Amino acid sequence: MIRGKWPLAIIALLSLLLVLAACGDQNAAPKAQAASTTLNKGAAAPMFDLKDLDGNEVTLASLAGEKVYVKYWASWCPICLAGMNELNTLAGQSNDFKVITIVSPNFKGEQSPEDFAQWFKGLQAEQTGTNIKVLLDEDGKFAQKFGIRGYPTSIYIGSDGVLVKSVPGHNPNDVITNTFKEIS
């Protein structure tokens, strides 16, 4: 009878060790989850890395910890163009969020990057001013990831990198500013 109990005791001891080891892994999981706690409801915004009109790279990761307003627009969109002066004013103000715009050359009827850059410089000189930062999403790679269906589209990203809201159509400055009051 003693012989029959030893194998059971060894199995019980090994089972206990496995349970304790599993408990150790479970204790590590809440720490990892706590580190990735989000402040806003929603999914993480697509992590873009785009160039501005001067060839400087801008990444969403470089804006970590900041709220970001992104306006997707097109040079051929009359609603977009009608809101450019207002957007230039917003971009020049001191707000608790960054303002950037994204255009998608060679996508959905947009000009080539070179033609757009030349056209936009003329537009700035004539109408909009110089506060607007334009990033180029060539071939609409990130427009597709953001689910852009039409122009203009406003995207609201929280300081935690969460895409809180995506709204098609023009958003006036007061709506943009008030929306960010509700976003962390």
The matching CATH number, chosen from 1.10.3720.10, 3.40.30.10, 3.30.300.130, 3.10.310.70, for 49-181 is: 3.40.30.10
Record the pTM.
0.77
Whether pLDDT at 32 is above 70: no
Mean pLDDT (the chain, rounded): 84
> What are the CA-CA distances from residue 182 to residues 37, 40, 72, 86 (Å)?
18, 9, 21, 22
Average pLDDT (98-117) is: 96
Sign of CA dihedral 143, 146, 150, 154: negative
- The pLDDT, as a whole number, for residue 125 is 73
Name the residue ranges covered by the structural domains of the chain.
1-37, 49-181
Q: Contact, 73 vs 101, CB < 8 A?
A: yes
The residue type at 163: L
- Residue 159 predicted with pLDDT over 60: yes
